Amino acid sequence: MRVNLKDASERLLVETYLNHILTAQSDEELNFLKHKLIHTYEVVEAAKDLVKYTQPALSQRDEMLVLQAALLHDIGRVYQFSEGRYVPDADHGLMGAGLLKKAMPNNKTVIETTKWHNHSPSEKDPNEVAFYLNYVRDADIIANVRHNTDNLLTVFKNLKNIVKKSELNLYLDDELIAAAKEKRSCIYKRYKRESFLQVILQQIGWKYNILTPAGKLLVKQEKIFVRLRDAVIDKLVDVLDGSIQEKQDMKKLIFELYPDEVLNED
């Protein structure tokens, strides 16, 4: 993963992030920006993989638009903090689109994919960019799942200092269990973070949010959700709060909720 400052889109991204990093008003903001910049390049990697998995191959123009849209999708994250404090309701898609409208007013695809990428797919998706939007959403999911699988304990350690003690338990709510059994992603009316375990396990349900044929193929071939499940069982459960018996029971339950044959299903 390397930055290419000869490319105008990369220059815009890096310049925008660097300016905000240099003026960050809290350690939390600084850390957030660092992680989002790394995340962005992981999404680009995932988008490149999706391009490779696409049959028949994308045209050069489409490939370029997919990669550009992936690169710029989270540019609005630089506005997620105000005076050093996280603003949960700030719509980073919308704010990113506003920035792009000024910086590259003729690139409608990138403006619109950025604007809509953080919303669930719906009839509101602008038709002309839906194709690229689906690539961005899939790349975002794949990058997050890969990152959390490969860095699960680091992600956990970073969060451990900021989450409440109660979030280190082995709690899973009814919606997560129902979603796993019904083979769908979780739907929360009001999302309430009750355990870190639940936050991570819920991501296995993102399997059902993958939209492109290339994404479905990649997920299957690289077994990304099987690997996430195994990382949770092999690494995470042991470091959470609970007795040996409770941890064993939880590992068994996770296996039952997310068996290989379901995770490898089309």
Given the rule CB under 5 A, which residues bind Fe ion?
74, 140
Distance set, CA 126 to CA 116, 130, 144 (Å): 9, 6, 25
Which neighbouring-strand residues pair with 81?
A: 86
Least Å distance, CB 47 to Fe ion, is 11
Nearest residue to 229 (alpha-carbon basis) of 138, 148, 175, 166: 148
Nearest residue to 201 (alpha-carbon basis) of 165, 168, 169, 177: 177
CB-nearer residue toward Fe ion: 110 or 168: 110
CB-nearer residue toward Fe ion: 10 or 140: 140
Least Å distance, CB 175 to Fe ion, is 24
- How many Cβ atoms from other residues are within 10 Å of residue 122's Cβ? 7
CB-nearer residue toward Fe ion: 38 or 178: 38
CB-nearer residue toward Fe ion: 66 or 170: 66
Least Å distance, CB 74 to Fe ion, is 4
Least Å distance, CB 167 to Fe ion, is 23
Give 213's Cβ-side CA count (13 Å radius). 6
Least Å distance, CB 117 to Fe ion, is 7
Per DSSP, which regions of the chain are E strands?
81-82, 85-86
Least Å distance, CB 146 to Fe ion, is 13
CB-nearer residue toward Fe ion: 140 or 167: 140
CB-nearer residue toward Fe ion: 142 or 250: 142
Cα separation, 176 vs 15, whole angstroms: 40
Give 111's Cβ-side CA count (13 Å radius). 11
Residue matched to tokens 């280190």: 168
Q: 46, exposed or middle or buried, with CB in 10 Å at 0-12, 13-18, 19+?
A: buried
CB-nearer residue toward Fe ion: 29 or 140: 140
Least Å distance, CB 40 to Fe ion, is 7
